Amino acid sequence: MGDLIEVLLREQLITPEQLKDAQDKQKGAKKPIQDILVEMGFLKEEDLMRVCSQVFNTPVVSLDKERMESDCLKLISCEQAKLYGIYPLRKEKNLLGQDVLFIATSDPQDIQTIDNLESMLNMEIQPVFCNHSEISQYIERYYNLDDA
């Protein structure tokens, strides 16, 4: 997240003082710093999404508008989705005919999570950026439906 914070500071979307306040609040929380900055009112959601798209060179999605396949929920357990802060969206084939799983994540640069998922599922993982709170809402809503 270092690059993201640097851009937010450089573009004066947040101040160093706001960053420190958010970091203090983040201690013990399992939320990314950018979500805390938004929750505290220091950063607008639209600005965060715009900067994240630039920094991560990754599409930004809103889960309400994203095409999803319910079968993908069976690939990743609710516990894993919560642990990694991800939401499985859909499977597609790459140019070689291999499966690619698209996941929503608030940290598309989390290589360890992507590597873990690729090993576990034996398929390529393609992250797209989505805010953490929206991912959490979808995990609670749709995994609970699936368990019912």
Query: Does 70 or 21 have the greater pLDDT score?
Result: 21
**Are 104 and 110 contacting, i.e. CB atoms less than 8 angstroms apart?**
no
Q: Is the pLDDT of residue 148 over 60?
A: no
Alpha-helical runs (H) found in 1-148:
2-10, 16-26, 33-39, 45-56, 78-84, 111-121, 132-138, 144-147
pLDDT tens digits for 50-85? 898 888 888 888 898 988 888 999 999 999 999 999
**Mind listing the domains of the chain with CATH numbers?**
2-56 (1.10.40), 63-147 (3.30.300.160)
Global pTM reads 0.79
Which of 81, 84, 61 minimizes the C-alpha distance to 130? 61
**Are 106 and 81 contacting, i.e. CB atoms less than 8 angstroms apart?**
no
Q: Is the pLDDT of residue 145 over 80?
A: no
pLDDT tens digits for 82-131? 999 999 999 999 999 999 999 999 888 889 999 999 999 999 999 999 88
What is the residue type of 89?
L
Mean pLDDT of the 37-46 span: 92
**Are 105 and 129 contacting, i.e. CB atoms less than 8 angstroms apart?**
yes
C-alpha distances out from residue 139 to 27, 87, 119, Å: 23, 7, 22
Q: Is the pLDDT of residue 1 over 90?
A: no
How far, in Å, CA of 124 to CA of 93, rounded?
Answer: 10
